[in-house]
Amino acid sequence: MGILDTISNFFITTTNPKKFVYLEPRFKSTSFILVAIIIGVFIWLILLYNYILKNWDDVKCEKGRFYIAPLFGKSSQKTFEECVRKDQEEALNKSLSGVNKKISAIDDKINELSDMVGTTKKSNIDVLTNTIQSNLLYVKDALSKIMGSILLSSYMNEGAITSIQSLDNSTISKMVSKFNEVVPMFGNTPNENI
């Protein structure tokens, strides 16, 4: 009876197969939202990159973008220098705008006086007004150059001081200082044992 029992058990198990357990993927809204956010961020980064690349000359000085200039095939140092030069020109023009307006007003008054007096003694007054006008233009140019050099000098000094302070506070400067503290512990020259 041993063989018959085995055969009957075989047929019973094959007619009653066991249920298989498997993992069924389920759709969750949080998973969809996370994937949508990740895709959205990548699309936003691509669009931002394209916008900056197409408008590089207009946006290179905004928000310190000269640091990421190599990502767009540009030199960081050259871009930084262009941005600083642009800021200096704007500051210089802004600071000299009052002086230029006053000189223009004086120039207009001289022209007005020249027109009023021009009918009486044209030859002597023309020479006098032309001399005064040329002298005023000379003074205007001299003042503009002096003010420009003073402002440029002050901006350059301020930039140099800021750069030195930021270099002194940088991680590389601290590492060099620590290295210089450690080297004397091992001797005066690092190649002494060679």
Does a structural domain hold residue 54?
no
Does a structural domain hold residue 80?
yes
Predicted confidence at residue 177, as pLDDT, reads 75
Counts for the chain of helices (H) and strands (E), in that order? 6, 0
Does a structural domain hold residue 83?
yes
Does a structural domain hold residue 19?
no
49 in Cβ contact with 69 (< 8 Å) = no
Predicted confidence at residue 158, as pLDDT, reads 74
Q: Which two tokens mark 79? A: 């871009």
Range of the domain at 144: 76-170
Predicted confidence at residue 193, as pLDDT, reads 47
**In the chain, which stretches have pLDDT less than 70?**
1-25, 117-125, 160, 163, 167, 183-194
Predicted confidence at residue 73, as pLDDT, reads 85
Does a structural domain hold residue 24?
no
Domain count, the chain: 1
Task: State the DSSP code for 56.
Answer: H
Does a structural domain hold residue 182?
no
Does a structural domain hold residue 31?
no
Does a structural domain hold residue 178?
no
d(CA 105, CA 132): 14
